[in-house]
Amino acid sequence: MFKIFVTSKISDSALNILKSVGEVEVWEKEETLNGPALLEKIKDQDAVLSMVNNFITDDILQQASKLKVIGNCGVGYNNIDIASAEKRGIVVTNTPDVLNDATADLTWALILGMARRIVEADHFVREGKFTGWLPHLFIGNMVYGKKLGIIGMGRIGSAVCQRAKGFNMKVYYYNRNPLPKEKEQEYNARYVDLETLLKECDYITIHAPLNEESYHLIGREELHLMKKDAYLINTSRGPLIDEQALYEHLKEGKIAGAALDVYEHEPKIVEGLLALDNVILLPHIGSATYETRTKMAELAANNIANVLSGKEPITPVTKGLKI
């Protein structure tokens, strides 16, 4: 009987998939498993269904000698040492596509929330400060007809782009490679270099994965290029932005605002950000809808079930089956 460890509570439908191929143990506590505690739990397992905040390092993989497959419940897999897994013949899978719409919707919630000062205005009402309509109360910025900049035009970036049509926006994008011309036409988006995007766009949203090239893609110099009335939105991974530099730009009013779902040293946040009004801070909930989280868990479970029963994984990140 295969032993499968799940690092967080998941849907019953996903658990049932796992139970069809092995004996399942679930970590039920809220506390995130990492380091020695994570190793202790997975060292004798054949499979792990992990979350994006379980850091599966080379050290852990070296000691988890029975491990055959890691089904990461997330599309990003920067929490796993992929080279180490590949070297050891451990299959790693992720959950692409099923979360595109949920993450794109949340990105739009942040764009609109920031532009129209939704969080600030909500606090104002709850604090009993609303005494009647005023012409200057919570003036924000237009989204309709403005220029959107998308950094990372992959699955989620494209879903964000499609939604921009309803807002009649001009879209610029920056990606590792330009899209084919037909796609650019379909999305009504123009490929530009990063500098042009930063200098010209009103709303800049990041959808690239975290890798060696993308670390601090938006640093002090890049922030400096942004317009004073522009907004930065990040629902990808925190380390793509130099968070301290972002804080300084926001505090000094060098850019209009930012909306973040992810942080450089998650779950820690650069302290000063918490005191600023021109930033919206969310607790990494990009894909957090009932439907999406169920689909993600089921896909991760099906990936594990496939590998343990000798079939091809559905959405592999690595290649090479151990069994």
Ligand X SMILES: NC(=O)C1=CN([C@@H]2O[C@H](COP(=O)(O)OP(=O)(O)OC[C@H]3O[C@@H](n4cnc5c(N)ncnc54)[C@H](O)[C@@H]3O)[C@@H](O)[C@H]2O)C=CC1
Q: Does 234 bind ligand O=CC(=O)O (CB under 6 A)?
A: no
Which positions from 264 through 293 interact with ligand O=CC(=O)O, judged by CB under 6 A?
Answer: 286-287
Nearest residue to 50 via CA among 30, 68, 29, 77: 77
The item of ligand O=CC(=O)O, ligand X, none sharing an interface with residue 154, based on CB under 5 to 8 Å by kind, is ligand X
Residue 101 C-beta: closest distance to ligand X, Å: 11
Q: Does 95 bind ligand X (CB under 6 A)?
A: no
Q: Does 152 bind ligand O=CC(=O)O (CB under 6 A)?
A: no
User: What's the CA gap between 155 and 96, in Å, rounded?
Assistant: 8
Q: Is 72 helix (H, G, I), strand (E, B) or coil?
A: strand
How far, in Å, are 99, 110, 234, 289 from residue 285 at the CA level? 11, 12, 12, 8
Give, in degrees to the nearest 5, the angle at Cα 85 between 316 and 293.
45
Nearest residue to ligand X on Cβ basis: 154
User: What's the CA gap between 255 and 267, in Å, rounded?
Assistant: 24
How far, in Å, are 124, 183, 209 from residue 190 at the CA level? 39, 10, 21
- Beta-strand pair 69-73/189-191: unpaired
The set of catalytic residues is: 237, 266, 284
Q: Does 149 bind ligand X (CB under 6 A)?
A: no
Which positions from 86 through 145 interact with ligand O=CC(=O)O, judged by CB under 6 A?
Answer: 99
Tokens found for residue 291: 């439907």
Residue 235 has phi, psi (to 5 degrees) of -120, 25
Gyration radius of the chain over CA positions: 21
29-68 footprint of ligand X as x/- string (CB under 6 A): ----------------------------------------
Give, in degrees to the nearest 5, the angle at Cα 45 between 41 and 47.
110
Residue 175 C-beta: closest distance to ligand X, Å: 5
Residue 298 C-beta: closest distance to ligand O=CC(=O)O, Å: 14
Residue 209 C-beta: closest distance to ligand X, Å: 3
**Interacting residue ranges for ligand O=CC(=O)O, rule: CB under 6 A:** 52, 74-76, 99, 286-287
Query: Which residues contact ligand X (rule: CB under 6 A)?
Result: 75-76, 96, 99, 103, 151-157, 174-176, 207-210, 213-214, 217, 235-237, 261-262, 284, 286-287
